Amino acid sequence: MNSDFPTYSFRLEFFDERAEIVRPYILQFFTHNQEIELFDVKNKRAFLKKTNAHSLLLKDLFIGNKVLINGRQYEVVDYSDDFTRNSFGLQMESTYAMIKPGFSQFLGEAIERIYQSQLTIANMKMGYLSQEVASKFYQEHKGKPFYDTLINYMTSGPVVGIEIIGKDAIQKWRRIIGPTNLETAKRDSPNSLRAKYAKSTTENFAHGSDSPQSSQRELGIIFRNNGIQLSCILEGTSLCIIKPHAVKSGFTGSIIKRLVENEFQLTGVLQTTLDLPTSNEFLEVYRGVVEDYMDMASQMCSGPCIAIEVSKPNVFQELRTLCGPRDSLVAKKIRPGSLRAQFGTDVVLNAVHCTDLEEDAELECEYFFVLLNQ
């Protein structure tokens, strides 16, 4: 095997809704020319011959992620050989990052730093920690003088929980946020997020796991056991969805920063990957109305998207104005400062979805922040 351009192998599963069975596949990713091929395990035959006609990136192939290949959505469930497990797998370290109460307006800055460090966001949700969850999360500090103050603070408002994946993810995120002590952060890491935004050593902007063991424990509490109760308001809000292509292109942080700069309050944030039936259900109002409906539905389930509930006076019209015309090519001409002009390329890859009818705003927010999480 070429050590400079290795071939990695992954176990994928496809849920066949008609037959109601899970079908296993092996995906080979050839790094020397970015080609892939699929092997049908059950029928012991090639399912997709070697091709570069795909949109997969190697960093998309982490366990638990869902990827779209030729219109079908597969889940990455494991590595399929020891080489991939011991080589690629070691590069996919996970860590838990948490933006603490009172700092969600700086979420865009944090996400930009994550992307700049060549890391990937696997999970993200904004919401509340209960006293029980916060106590379990910080159990190592129980009995210390600051414990009650810490628990009260961490349950005082919404946090943003983030699972970060990538090479040296634990240490990279800890370098991004800087030392725990605010004065130390200002002195030793003046460009760190804590030095720039923290208010005190308790209200110090963010949390980061300090070891692989801590990471797995904290990720288990927050994501595996649904430790965060999603925040949303529903009334007087509107929905902005950062589409999969924009997420994959690394635009998430910049788009969220633009929302905040335009005085939108982030009242709900959720990263999720839709399947095609769910995408079709959400976009049903566009069926038969726009010619590119199927392309639009396929794009929405082609990878992780980020749903953001926002509020401000006249939120519906203000958000539509910031997003700009649906076709990014039109937006570049008549609304060059809009999100779709800056981060989109055409009518399908137009960076963001926003609610088009004011009466649908609450329904769309409810769909993502309530119905999808029941």
Domain annotation for the chain: domains and CATH numbers: 7-89 (2.30.29.170), 92-229 (3.30.70.141), 237-373 (3.30.70.141)
> Contact at 8 Å (CB) between 292 and 350?
no
CA distances from 237 to 127, 158, 257, 311, 320 (A): 16, 17, 18, 5, 12
With bands split at pLDDT 50, 70 and 90, how would you rate the model's confidence at 369? very high
Q: If pLDDT is split at 50, 70 and 90, which confidence band does 202 have?
A: confident
> DSSP H helical segments within the chain, as ranges?
82-86, 107-116, 131-137, 147-154, 169-177, 182-188, 193-197, 212-219, 244-248, 252-261, 276-282, 293-300, 315-323, 328-334, 339-343, 361-369
> What angle is formed at CA 372 by the lines to CA 18 and CA 106, rounded to 5 degrees?
135
Average pLDDT of the chain to the nearest whole number: 95
- Looking at residue 342, its pLDDT comes to 98
Summarize the confidence of residues 208-232 as an average pLDDT.
95
Among the listed residues 54, 141, 207, 353, the single catalytic one is 207
Find, among 305, 320, 321, the residue nearest to 361 by Cα: 320
**With 80 as the cut, is the pLDDT of residue 38 above it?**
yes
Is 32 assigned a catalytic role? no
Band the pLDDT of 1: cuts 50, 70, 90.
Answer: low
Instruction: Write out the H or E segment, with its range, that includes residue 120.
Output: strand 120-128
Please state, for a pLDDT cut of 70, what percent of the chain lies above it: 99
pTM for this prediction? 0.93
Mean pLDDT of 39-65: 93
Mean pLDDT of 219-247: 95
Per-residue pLDDT reduced to its tens digit, 175-190? 999 999 999 999 999 9
